[in-house]
Structures are given as C-alpha cells and as structure tokens.
Amino acid sequence: MNAFSDVDPVYHPPLEPWLSLLHRDADFLVFDKPSGLLSVPGRHPALADSLLTRVQKDYPQALIVHRLDKDTSGVVLMSLNRKAHAFVAAQFEARMTEKSYVAEVWGHVGERQGLIDLPLAIDPHDKPRHRVDRENGKPAQTRWEVLGHGTDRTRLRLSPLTGRTHQLRVHMKAFGHVILGDAFYADGPALAAADRLLLHAENLSFRRPDGSEVTFTAPLPF
C-alpha cells in the first residue's frame, strides 16, 4: 500500500539512517522503513529514491513482498529468491500473515477495544484519497485496542484483517479519531499535533518455507 502522488514536488526522503536492517537470512530481508520514504519508486524521476531502490543497490535480487504508505514507518519484508517470494506472498494474499500497528489518534477513545467493519474505495473526486463506500467499496476490517491515553490523544494498537489502501487511516477517520499528523485525512489541531503521520507497523508474523513461524518487530519511533 503505497499512498503517494506520482508528482509530489516536495519529496525529501530521510537520508539517515540510509537503511535500517532488522533481519537477513538466505530467503528474506526485513527492514524498518522510516516515515517519509517511499516503499517503491514512483513513476516520476523525482520519486526514484525508495526503500526498494536503496536495498537493490546491495541486493539486486531483492523483491518487495508488501508495501507501507510513504508516511507510515515500520516493518517491511523483502524476499531474496523467487521460491521464498511466492511462498510468503501467498500468505499475504490468503490473509494468513499477522500485522499490528501502533497509532496515536486524536481525542479520547472511551472503549477498550473493538472492530471497525467498513468497506473502502478510492474517492473519485479526491484521488489518491480513499473513503468509506457502503455501495461500491471493498470489504475492510480493522481490530483496535487502547494502549494508553494522553491529554488530547489515545494510543491504539491496530490489527488490519484486510489490506486495503489507506485502510487504517480511513477507518480511524470514520471512527472519529483521525491519526495525528495525517496530511491526507486530518486537519486543524489533529494535523498540527505531529510533524509526521503517527502510524507505525510494529509487528509482522508469517510462516517461513521450512514451516516455522517468525515474528519481526520494529521499535516504536514515537
């Protein structure tokens, strides 16, 4: 899921650290992608710098398995051979992987946990933003639980059961608690409350080709 205009004139991806490698073996690479860096390059030459572009300078055979929005940080998985890629990509397709994110959202969430089940589609009048679309949208479900409260915010763990573009961001907006610093979906004090999107892919679990279950964690940057 790579949310970013292909002709954004103000793309200034972070340079330090250049790459943050969490794990390497014969089949996979796992990185902690910083906020502000594209997962894959855009079509416009100004958007050539990306996590994949950087990784392929050292590992030309690397293939990206899944993506994060430009402004989302956290765990990104890449494969080092076709067999491993097909094996784990099938798990993503079948929703057999487990992913959890941490987000800081605007306002006080009173309940402890819940499930958001709202179909999503691209907003034809405001691309590339997405919206809840009960008639034509694709099914989307997100589990959430409260981790803590601040003066004007709540920290949540978000577990997407589906993988729609902008799913967590649009679901949080529809929930009435937009993610802080979200330049696409927040405004006013919620947008000004952070200098980046406060959404981080903390954990990713999947099954390796040998059958073993593995989990990788990227430390919280906020």
Active site residues: 69
Q: What is the pLDDT of residues 81-90, one digit of tens each?
A: 999 999 999 9
Domain that holds residue 133: 100-199
**pLDDT of the residue at 216:** 98
**pLDDT of the residue at 177:** 98
Please say if the pLDDT value at position 5 is more than 70.
no
Find the mean pLDDT for residues 198-221: 97
| Cα distance from N-terminal residue to C-terminal residue, the chain | 22
Residue 23 belongs to a domain: no
pTM greater than 0.85 (yes/no)? yes
Residue 7 belongs to a domain: no
Residue 188 vs residues 109, 191, 201: alpha-carbon distances, Å: 19, 6, 25
Find the mean pLDDT for residues 59-69: 97
The CATH number that applies at residue 108 is: 3.30.2350.10
Share of the chain above pLDDT 70, in %: 96
**pLDDT of the residue at 10:** 83
Residue 139 belongs to a domain: yes
157: phi then psi, degrees, rounded to nearest 5: -100, 130
Residue 44 belongs to a domain: no
Residue 91 belongs to a domain: no
Q: Quickly state the pLDDT bin for 6 (edges 50, 70, 90).
A: very low
CA distance 34 to 52: 13
Find the mean pLDDT for residues 119-125: 97
Q: How many domains are there within the chain? A: 1
Residue 162 vs residues 38, 93, 129: alpha-carbon distances, Å: 21, 10, 18
175-186 burial, b for 16+ CB within 10 Å, e for fewer?
bebbbbbbebbb
The answer to whether the beta carbons of residues 193 and 181 sit under 8 Å apart is yes
Residue 49 belongs to a domain: no
Residue 78 belongs to a domain: no
Residue 105 belongs to a domain: yes
Please say if the pLDDT value at position 3 is more than 90.
no
